[in-house]
């Protein structure tokens, strides 16, 4: 039995004394101990070495005390397993030397044996579960097929992923073939994560909000729905779409246990659009962690007042930024733990 199961209770819709709290990208660059490891090991070495991934995953649990751990990894380990070369370049981020931008290149992308290609992730889960010793739940994750396609076609990060969108609109058959391959691989990957011991999974659709609503249904949501359908009876699934407030109603009927909300959607609108009967997660602006700790505490309490304590998981609206002071991240977590209903 997990000692602190607030997070799982919230996913099940049970009443809780206070909302659980964790932060997207909480095992990351804002922690000085993480930076020490970064100086020694490159990014994908940290992802592929179970002992390092475990150490990084557990680091924020020990240092700032959130109610759930999220496995240190990256959404791009999935396309790497599909034999797409991906680098992490300083100052650029993810970089694909040979973008998958033609129908012929799509044909060369494989659906791999995830047990073989991604075994290091499953070993990291088992090791992390041992290290956590049932203290808090462990979250596994994957990127949405659309978000992964964006990187594979564009070749690197972008403000608008224009090349990725052009590919979808001019080569739709090839785009859908690639999206389905990513979906099939992701389902197999997440099912193995469940077997390895994660307690919940989150789908990150970081670039879904770049699509207009009809295109979102066509190129993103229907593939996310496939993944949710494949997993919802085995494990709680959190669906997070940045900028996807327009899809909250459909998302709420998907079988997902919870929906992530970014900071551009107010609590009352998120509750209204999602029907008020599903757990919501979010939506503190990550940039607001630059504020003074006292201000963070006040804003967090206001956020919880607006969402309510039940069917709610306190979190950021996107990942924590790398130069946030540790004491400010601590203030965010502590503010949730100290919350008293009015």
Plot region of 91 (φ>0 → left; ψ -120 to 50 → alpha; else → beta): left
Surface-to-core class of residue 170, CB atoms within 10 Å of its CB (0-12 exposed, 13-18 middle, 19+ buried): exposed
Helix (H/G/I), strand (E/B), else coil: 258 = strand
DSSP letter string, 138-158? EEEEEE-HHHHHHHHHHSB--
φ, ψ (nearest 5 deg) of residue 95:
-140, 130
In whole angstroms, what is the distance from residue 12 CA to residue 188 CA?
A: 24
Q: Which residues of 43-56 are buried (b: 16+ CB within 10 A; e: fewer)?
A: bbebbbbbebbbbb
Q: Residues within the annotated binding site? A: 25-29, 44, 74, 151, 206, 318
Q: Residues within the annotated binding site for substrate? A: 25-29, 44, 74, 151, 206, 318
Nearest to 220 by CA among 262, 180, 187: 180
In whole angstroms, what is the distance from residue 70 CA to residue 54 CA?
A: 10
In whole angstroms, what is the distance from residue 331 CA to residue 300 CA?
A: 9
């Amino acid at each position: 039995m997990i000692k602190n199961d607030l997070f799982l209770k919230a996913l099940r819709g049970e009443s809780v004394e206070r909302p659980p709290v964790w932060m997207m990208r909480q095992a990351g660059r804002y922690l000085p101990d993480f930076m020490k490891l970064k100086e020694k090991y490159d990014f994908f070495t940290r992802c592929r070495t179970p002992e390092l991934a475990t150490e990084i995953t557990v680091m924020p649990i020990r240092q700032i005390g959130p109610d759930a751990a999220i496995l240190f990894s990256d959404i791009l380990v999935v396309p790497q397993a599909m034999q797409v070369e991906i680098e992490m370049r300083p100052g650029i981020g993810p970089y694909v030397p040979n973008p998958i931008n033609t129908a012929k290149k799509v044909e060369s992308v494989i659906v791999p044996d995830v047990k073989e290609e991604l075994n290091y992730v499953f070993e990291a889960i088992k090791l992390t579960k041992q290290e956590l010793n049932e203290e808090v739940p462990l979250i596994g994750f994957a990127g949405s097929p659309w978000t992964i396609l964006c990187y594979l076609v564009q070749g690197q990060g972008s403000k608008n992923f224009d090349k990725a969108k052009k590919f979808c609109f001019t080569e739709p058959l090839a785009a859908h073939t690639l999206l389905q391959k990513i979906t099939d691989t992701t389902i197999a990957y997440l099912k193995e994560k469940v077997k390895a011991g994660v307690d919940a999974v989150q789908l990150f659709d970081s670039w879904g909000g770049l699509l207009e609503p009809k295109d979102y249904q066509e190129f993103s949501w229907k593939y996310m729905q496939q993944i949710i359908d494949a997993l919802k009876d085995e494990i709680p699934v959190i669906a997070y779409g940045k900028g996807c407030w327009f899809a909250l109603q459909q998302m709420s009927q998907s079988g997902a246990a919870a929906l992530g909300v970014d900071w551009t959607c107010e609590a009352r609108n998120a509750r209204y659009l999602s029907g008020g009967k599903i757990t919501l997660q979010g939506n503190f602006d990550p940039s607001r962690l630059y504020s003074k700790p006292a201000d963070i505490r006040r804003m967090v309490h206001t956020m919880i007042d607006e969402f309510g304590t039940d069917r709610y998981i306190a979190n950021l609206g996107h990942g924590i930024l790398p130069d946030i002071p540790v004491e400010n991240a601590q203030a965010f977590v502590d503010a949730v733990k100290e919350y008293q209903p009015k």
